[in-house]
Amino acid sequence: MKVIRTITELRQEIGLKRQATQSRESIVGLVPTMGYLHEGHASLMHAAKQQSDIVVLSIFVNPIQFGPNEDFDSYPRDEARDVETARAQGVDIVFIPSVEEMYPQQTQTTVSVSSLTDRLCGASRPGHFDGVTTVVSKLFNIVQPQRAFFGMKDAQQVAVIQQMVNDLNMPVEIVPCPIVREQDGLALSSRNVYLSAEDRQEALVLSKALRAAQEAVDISADTTAADIRRILRENIGRSSRAVIDYAEIQAFPSLEPLADQEKVHGRDDILMALAVKFGKTRLIDNTRLQRAEVLSHV
């Protein structure tokens, strides 16, 4: 496995690796990350390994997707451990550029997806998705992957990137990968490291709320979007430390909010999504409603 820090060297190395598989066009799979890798990232690398000939993992804490009062400086970093994790997963190339390598001068070009980014995380983190789509476009141009792997924990990010790829005819397949959870239900996130032991315990209200909402749909085919919103809020409200940013139900991937009276029965395009703060730590979680369970109770 090679650890590469410059764009020129990365392009050379991918070129050499492509030439090594002369008999056919090799598939380059990109796993873009901000490092501090956990089992969720491992599942992305695993999927990339299965579906590509050459796996490139990028590790870059992207300053332009953090707001001025956000955690760019304190975002957890552990390069040595990340490199070992990547090696264990069979990654071929780890790309770890500096901020100067990615942004050698003041950025004058921004890739921006419009209405999908106005809501949910976009509403409370203005400019965040512009930072994401700009850096992901740069990574796509640098690596030129045929496939790119993203975790569904950031479901809005997946929807936004898919929209960008469609709109700009980027020749890359976006592969969304399922959320990975701790045994007790907490969705894995690099930011979980910020949680105190008490908040870590309280944070279980997120996955419990999502399960309770799914159960309500399983029990009654009359469950409405308003019921789901109420159930999500009630369950999160069981933690006195939880401050809700949003607890929403919407179509996926359009992210159009469902009207209160809308029934969710029989639909398989629905996403319940949460963003909740515990102290300074903002956690997100989501789940797609399971259609089969809805229909089994009709």
* Least distance in angstroms from the C-beta of 176 to ligand PAF: 12
Cβ-Cβ contacts under 8 Å for 133 (sequence gap 6 or more): 111, 112, 113, 160, 161, 164
Tokens for 248? 């929403």
CB of 288 to ligand PAF, least distance (A): 18
# residues near ligand PAF by CB under 6 A = 10
Q: Which residue, 148 or 264, is less far from ligand PAF as judged by CB? A: 148
Q: Which of residues 145-174 bind ligand PAF (CB under 6 A)?
A: 154, 157
User: Closest CB to ligand PAF among 157 and 239?
Assistant: 157
User: How far apart are alpha carbons 228 and 254 in whole angstroms?
Assistant: 19
Q: How far apart are CA 243 and CA 236, in angstroms?
A: 8
Dihedral pair phi/psi, residue 64, rounded to 5°: -80, 0
Q: Does 33 bind ligand PAF (CB under 6 A)?
A: yes
Q: Least distance from C-beta 32 to ligand PAF, angstroms?
A: 4
| Stretch binding ligand PAF (CB under 6 A), from 26-34, 174-182, 203-211, 287-295 | 26-34
Give the residue, chosen from 120, 135, 264, 283, that forms a contact with ligand PAF under the rule CB under 6 A.
135
CA dihedral 81, 129, 118, 246 (to 10 degrees): 10
Q: State whether the Cα torsion 274-167-63-117 is positive or negative.
A: negative
From 106, 159, 104, select the one nearest 136 (Cα to Cα).
159
Binding flags for ligand PAF, 43-82, as an x/- string (CB under 6 A): -------------------x--x-----------------
Which of the stretches 92-100, 131-139, 191-199, 244-252 binds ligand PAF when contact is defined by CB under 6 A? Answer: 131-139
SS3 113: coil
Based on CB atoms, which residue is closest to ligand PAF, 94 or 205?
94
31 has which bridge partners? 57
Please, what is the minimum distance in Å from the beta carbon of residue 115 to ligand PAF? 19
* Measured distance between the N- and C-terminal CA atoms of the chain, rounded to whole angstroms: 53
Give the nearer residue to ligand PAF in terms of CB position, either 128 or 229.
128
The catalytic residues are: 41
- Structure-derived torsion over alpha carbons of residues 173, 31, 138, 64, reported in degrees to the nearest 10: 130
Contact with ligand PAF (CB under 6 A) among 132, 155, 258, 276: 132
Enumerate binding residues for ligand PAF (CB under 6 A).
32-34, 62, 65, 132, 135-136, 154, 157
